[in-house]
Every structure is written in C-alpha cells, then in structure tokens.
Amino acid sequence: MFEIVFLGTGGGRFAMITQRRRTGGLRIVSNQLGLHVDPGPGALVYSLEMGLDPQKIDAILVSHSHLDHTNDVGALIEAMTHGTTKKRGILAAARSVISGNEVCDSAISRYHKGLPEKIVEAKVGAIFTVGDVSVKVCKAVHSDPDAVGFRFEAGVLGSFAYMPDSEYFEGIDGFYGGVRLLILSVLRPWGEPWKGHMSSDEAAKTISEVRPELAVITHFGMRMILQGPDREAGLIEKATGVRTIAAKDSMSITLGEKIQMGKPEKQADLTKFVGP
C-alpha cells in the first residue's frame, strides 16, 4: 500500500508567494519507503506539521529547476542525511537541478550534492530503483528543457505517475499510458493556455490518451485557483469519462487494491502572514 500526501497544490509565482495554495510537493509513503517529490517552499515545515518525519525520507525527486519545485531541497537533503551525520538516501533530479543549463542555474549547492549516498541524473528513459519501487523518468515539455516526469512501478499495486509542469505533446501515452493513477500539474483553467504548462483542456486531451483509473489535477496557478479547481476537474471528467478530482492541500490518496481518498488535515492559518 502506498499513501501519497499533497503537501501543496499550488504552482507558479503568485500562488507560491501568497501561499493561497501550499507549495510543499508530494510525499509518497509505504511501510518500507519514504519519497519526497518536488519540495517547493514550505516542504519542510508542512512535513513536520503533518507528522511526516523528513528524516525518514529515502529519496528526493526533483522534476526541474524552478523555485516552486526546488526551494526546500537543501533542507530536505539535510534531514534525509540525519543532519548531515550519515551519508544516505538518493537524490534523483533533472540535469538542470544538479548542474544547471542554458536557461536555469543549478538549484542545489555543491555542499548539498555531496551529502546523499547516491545522485541520479534524471534523463528521459532512465530507470532507477528506490527500495522495491522502480522509477522510470518520463518526458515533459516545459520552459526548463531538462524537465522530466516520474513513473512509479509498484509491483502488484500497478503503476502511478507524476507529470510536472508540461504542455501536451504527441506520444504522451507512451510515457504515462497504463498507469492506475495520474497526478497531473494543471496550472490554468480551460481555454487559457500558457506555453510550457497545461490548461484544463490540454489535461483532458492528456487524460483521454493515458486513460488512468483516476486522474488528480494539482499545481494550480492563481487563475486556476480563482476559477475553481473542482469546477475544472468536473469539466475534465465530463470530457474524458475518466474520474478526475482536484487535489487539496494536505489531502492523501491511498493506492492499494482500490484507490481511496483521505480528507485534508486541518491546516495552520497563514492569512495573518500572507493576507486572505
């Protein structure tokens, strides 16, 4: 059984700087394993708030080198390595995150890159293992040309995938097709495209081709938040016939024989700091 906890469902600069939706990324937990995917601002604090010990992380996965996906990666590396006292854990990250590229600077200091037991440069098509889970690196098309998604093969429980910021591309089902659960970053509402990102209508096209058992949309920009993610999920479900839900901060999903949703946990009130 795997539990996937949404430590944030916000994306883009304005959702990030206001924290209208949190930006802590995803925590994936089983009895043997702890993964953190795309630890943006708040990942450490929100993990602690929800009782998810960051020192129990076995691997940190980072899709690309933008702040809303990388801000807390150094702090989580220090937690994963038990305050830098033990060389342990895996850092699997896009080339831009580790080394930088022509668009983005490296998101991780040289010091922090020396702490994990293993570093995997996540290139499309690469496969690596974390515990008993096989992870395949999948294509994404974003303003960071090294951006990637991740597909997790979980044995008898089947597979699930996380697709970060990306626009639709031909052959998308070749990377994400056949998964039971697709977690899809959908920054903008229906009919409001933005290059390198996905709007609800592009998400519907993607989901129609991938045909997961359940689709979960997340990583909402301010336009999406104001429009209403639940409404957008309904439009996608109507267009595709695939059950689609909009993630909420601190919501959890359990992947077992069935896919079940957990209710969001009570969250601290941050409006005194960031406004209503």
CATH at 73? 3.60.15.10
Question: What percentage of the chain reaches a pLDDT higher than 90?
Answer: 92
Find tokens 């946990």 and name the residue. 265
Q: What are 195-202's contacts with CB under 8 Å, separation 24+? A: 195/143, 195/167, 196/141, 196/142, 196/143, 196/165, 196/166, 196/167, 197/142, 197/165, 197/166, 197/167, 197/221, 198/165, 198/166, 198/167, 198/168, 200/224, 200/232, 200/235, 200/236, 201/239, 202/167, 202/168
Asked whether residue 52 is assigned to any structural domain, the reply reads: yes
Asked whether residue 276 is assigned to any structural domain, the reply reads: no
Closest to 184 (Cα-Cα) out of 199, 174, 169, 170: 199
Q: What is the pLDDT of residues 140-185, one digit of tens each?
A: 999 999 999 999 999 999 999 999 999 999 999 999 999 999 999 9
Q: What is the pLDDT of residues 112-130, one digit of tens each?
A: 999 999 999 999 999 999 9
Order of all β-strands in the sheet with 244-246: 127-130, 133-139, 148-153, 159-163, 181-185, 214-218, 244-246
- pLDDT band for 52, please (50, 70, 90 cuts): very high
d(CA 130, CA 117): 12
User: Does residue 42 surpass a pLDDT of 90?
Assistant: yes
d(CA 243, CA 137): 25
Asked whether residue 268 is assigned to any structural domain, the reply reads: no
Asked whether residue 267 is assigned to any structural domain, the reply reads: no
Asked whether residue 270 is assigned to any structural domain, the reply reads: no
What would the two tokens of residue 251 be?
């919501």
Asked whether residue 273 is assigned to any structural domain, the reply reads: no
Order of all β-strands in the sheet with 259-262: 118-121, 90-93, 59-62, 34-37, 23-29, 2-8, 252-255, 259-262
d(CA 155, CA 176): 16
Asked whether residue 251 is assigned to any structural domain, the reply reads: yes
Write down the pLDDT at residue 264.
Answer: 67
Q: What is the pLDDT of residues 231-244, one digit of tens each?
A: 999 999 999 999 99
Domains of the chain: total: 1
Closest to 57 (Cα-Cα) out of 68, 44, 45: 44
What would the two tokens of residue 31 be?
């009895």
Where in the sequence is the domain holding 185, given as residue range(s)? 2-258
Asked whether residue 263 is assigned to any structural domain, the reply reads: no
